[in-house]
């Protein structure tokens, strides 16, 4: 198998990604300047009964400002753990995580997460209160301004008419839109999404992916998105980091931007081989990609 990269395998360093250079195109200045996220050689361990459980082993990647970056891998490869670590809820055993060159020190409003669960919204609060609550609780905005911001973001996700509804009155997709509005209202520098659409039916999931991309077109936030769906990774991501099974290690970093349908199908096949095809696939993809990426960064 040839180790030569085809054009759509080339690492996207952001130079041909208009969006990645669009830190100054944030709509109305409503979101904070998108940040660069660097994960450097991060190993994550949990305390198990019989000693530490290694979730990821020396994982490294860079997410450029306004880039959509996807972590893809089988169940248990450490995707959520990486997101928790970037969120500041889990400290690396080795390696470090930086936002705009500064090591993170615990959770912060610059990194906000949206999860898969529908019950991430307190059920006793209205939709409007749910979106405004973190702004008020964190002291980011006084109540009146927070409610205004919340209305703005609800309109952005198409839920202006549901401000007074309670979460149980919404569909799964609508609840996820509320969660996205709530996250974006905090003006994060990096938006973290952990399988946000995994619990939705196929049609709603597809629509939500399109809506997320449309929202990103307007707001150009830096996005770190976790999924175990190859299809979703190629729809959502500019780049996709493929992780090996437990403990997660980087198998390859692949371009997912600007692909024709045929290229996307080929890329999906490659990812499938990377995930399930054994060491040959690693030789064919990981090493040249890693080398090219290193060269591009130096
Ligand atoms: N709180 C915890 N305590 C002990 N081990 C944990 C804990 N959370 C995760 N792990 C272990 O760490 C590894 C990685 O888990 P993680 O949830 O990050 O994987 P994942 O790729 O997100 O999986 P999934 O796609 O199923 O959500 C797994 O082996 C898991 O059992």
Residue of minimum CA distance from atom 25 in ligand 1: 75
pLDDT at 21: 36
Q: Are 32 and 24 in contact (CB under 8 A)?
A: no
CA atoms within 13 A on the CB side of 281: 20
Quote the percentage of the chain above a pLDDT of 90.
Answer: 67
Look at residue 25 and tell me if it is in a domain.
yes
Residues 138, 203: one domain?
A: no
Cα(53) to ligand 1 centroid in Å equals 9
Asked if residue 182 and residue 69 are part of one domain, the reply reads no
Kindly state the DSSP code that residue 26 receives in the 8-state scheme.
-
Q: What is the per-residue pLDDT for 116? A: 84
Percent of the chain with pLDDT over 70: 82
Is residue 82 within 8 A of residue 56, CB to CB? The reply is yes
Tell me if 34 is assigned to some domain: yes
User: Does residue 294 have a pLDDT over 50?
Assistant: no
72, 79, 83, 247: residue to mutate for ligand 1 pocket, most atoms within 8 A of CB: 79
Q: Are 277 and 196 found together in one domain?
A: yes
Average pLDDT over all residues of the chain: 84
Instruction: Indicate if 217 and 240 belong to the same structural domain.
Output: yes
- Inform me whether the pLDDT recorded for 63 exceeds 50: yes
CB-ligand 1 contact for 251 (6 Å cutoff):
no
Q: What is the ipTM of this complex?
A: 0.97
> CB of 73 closer than 6 A to ligand 1?
yes
Q: What is the CATH number of the domain that holds 250?
A: 3.40.50.300
Give the residue numbers spanning the domain of 157. 119-187
Whether residue 81 has its Cβ less than 6 Å from ligand 1 = yes
Last residue of a domain, which of 146, 165, 187?
Answer: 187
Confidence of residue 278 (pLDDT cuts 50, 70, 90): low
The secondary structure element, H or E, covering residue 103 is: strand 102-103
In a domain, residue 2? The reply is no
Q: Is 3 or 213 the better-scoring residue by pLDDT?
A: 213
CB contact at 8 A, 200 and 192: no
Question: What pLDDT digit, counting tens, does each position of 159-212 carry?
Answer: 999 999 999 999 999 999 999 999 999 989 899 999 999 988 898 889 889 989
Say whether both 167 and 211 belong to one domain: no
Query: Does residue 228 line the site of ligand 1, with CB under 6 A?
Result: yes
Q: Would 1 be classed as within a structural domain?
A: no
Given a cut of 60, is residue 49 above it in pLDDT? yes
Q: So what's the pLDDT on residue 31?
A: 65
Residue ID of nearest Cα to ligand 1 atom 14: 78
In the chain, the number of structural domains is: 2
In which band, very low, low, confident or very high, does the pLDDT at 11 lie, cut at 50, 70 and 90? very low
Task: Write the DSSP symbol of residue 29.
Answer: G
Coil vs helix vs strand at 140:
coil
Q: What is the 144 CA–ligand 1 centroid distance (Å)? A: 40
pLDDT, tens digit (0-9, with 9 covering 90-100), for 71-123: 999 999 999 999 999 999 999 999 999 999 999 999 998 999 998 876 789 99
Residue 286 included in any domain: yes
Q: What is the pTM of this model?
A: 0.83
């Amino acid at each position: 198998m040839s180790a030569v990269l085809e054009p759509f395998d080339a690492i996207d360093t952001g130079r041909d990604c208009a969006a990645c250079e669009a830190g100054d195109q944030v709509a109305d200045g409503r979101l904070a300047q998108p940040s660069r996220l660097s994960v450097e050689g991060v190993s994550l361990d949990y305390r198990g009964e019989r000693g530490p459980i290694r979730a990821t082993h020396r994982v490294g990647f860079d997410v450029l400002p306004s880039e959509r970056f996807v972590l893809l891998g089988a169940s248990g490869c450490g995707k959520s753990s990486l997101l928790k670590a970037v969120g500041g809820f889990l400290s690396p055993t080795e390696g470090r995580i930086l936002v705009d060159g500064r090591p993170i020190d615990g959770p912060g409003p610059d990194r906000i997460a949206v999860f898969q669960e529908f019950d991430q919204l307190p059920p006793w609060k209205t939709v409007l209160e749910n979106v405004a609550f973190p702004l008020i609780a964190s002291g980011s905005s006084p109540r009146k301004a927070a409610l205004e911001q919340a209305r703005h973001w609800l309109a952005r996700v198409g839920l202006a008419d549901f401000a007074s509804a309670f979460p149980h009155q919404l569909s799964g997709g609508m609840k996820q839109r509320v969660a996205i509005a709530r996250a974006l209202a905090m003006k994060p520098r990096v938006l973290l999404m952990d399988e946000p659409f995994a619990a939705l039916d196929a049609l709603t999931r597809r629509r939500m992916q399109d809506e997320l991309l449309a929202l990103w077109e307007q707001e150009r936030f830096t996005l770190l998105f976790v999924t175990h769906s190859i299809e979703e990774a190629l729809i959502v991501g500019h780049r996709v980091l493929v992780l090996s099974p437990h403990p997660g290690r980087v198998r390859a970093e692949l371009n997912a931007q600007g692909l024709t349908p045929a290229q996307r199908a080929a890329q999906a096949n490659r990812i499938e081989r990377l995930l399930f095809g054994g060491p040959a696939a690693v030789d064919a993809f990981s090493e040249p990609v890693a080398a090219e990426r290193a060269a591009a960064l130096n």
